[in-house]
Amino acid sequence: MSLPDKAFPVSWDQFHRDARALAWRLAGLGQDFKAIVCITRGGLVPAAIISRELNIRMIDTVCIASYHDYLNQGETSLLKPISDPLLANGGEGVLVVDDLTDTGKTAKEVRAMMPKAHFACVYAKPKGVPTVDTFVTEVSQDTWIYFPWDMGFAYQEPIAKVRD
């Protein structure tokens, strides 16, 4: 298995700063979100940060599995639905949070459940951008984001290879 050439490693500090930047953008919308629905697992960490920053106490999850290996996104599978009260009125007043929108497949599935919710993610790739309302950083489609919860400490090859 070979991984994509473009790597975007994100440290815990950087992710925290980016999630807070997302909270600032959301606060600037002037909306009073009544709840957060985080898309697990990636949405758990930014949802915790955003819930603190925006003082949102009601947090639910929707559990959808889609990545089955590091190269291929398989069919989605709903493992846990959103609670009925948050689905009322199409999810109006609900903030849906994820770490990344890649192809937008997962966001489209959740948007079908909650068409009036506001969708936000920390990072977005071009194919996923149309599926979210707010994000912080866009990366190219062929970039693999290494989130801090997926990494250990290891040497990283330089972008330009050393010539002999």
* 99 is an annotated ligand-binding site residue: yes
Extract the tokens encoding 148. 């801090």
Concerning whether 5 is annotated as a catalytic residue, the answer is no
* 59 is an annotated ligand-binding site residue: no
* 102 is an annotated ligand-binding site residue: yes
* 145 is an annotated ligand-binding site residue: yes
Beta bridge partners of 119: 96
Per the residue annotation, which of 5, 69, 84, 102 is the catalytic one?
Answer: 102
Concerning whether 32 is annotated as a catalytic residue, the answer is no
Q: How far is CA 24 from the centre of its chain?
A: 16
List Cα–Cα distances, 32 to 3, 19, 29, 57, 162, in angstroms.
41, 18, 9, 12, 52
Concerning whether 98 is annotated as a catalytic residue, the answer is yes
* 142 is an annotated ligand-binding site residue: no
* 74 is an annotated ligand-binding site residue: no
* 111 is an annotated ligand-binding site residue: no
Map tokens 């801090």 to a residue.
148
* 100 is an annotated ligand-binding site residue: yes
Burial state string for 98-107 with b = 16 or more CB within 10 A and e = fewer than 16: bbbbbebbbb
Per the residue annotation, which of 13, 98, 133, 142 is the catalytic one?
Answer: 98
Per the residue annotation, which of 60, 69, 99, 142 is the catalytic one?
Answer: 99
Collapsing DSSP to helix, strand or coil, 20 comes out as helix
Q: Which residues are annotated as a binding site for 5-phospho-alpha-D-ribose 1-diphosphate?
A: 41-42, 98-106
> Where in the sequence numbering do the catalytic residues fall?
98-99, 102
Q: Which residues are annotated as a binding site for xanthine?
A: 102, 145
Q: Which residues are annotated as a binding site?
A: 41-42, 98-106, 144-145
Q: Which residues are annotated as a binding site for GMP?
A: 102-106, 144-145
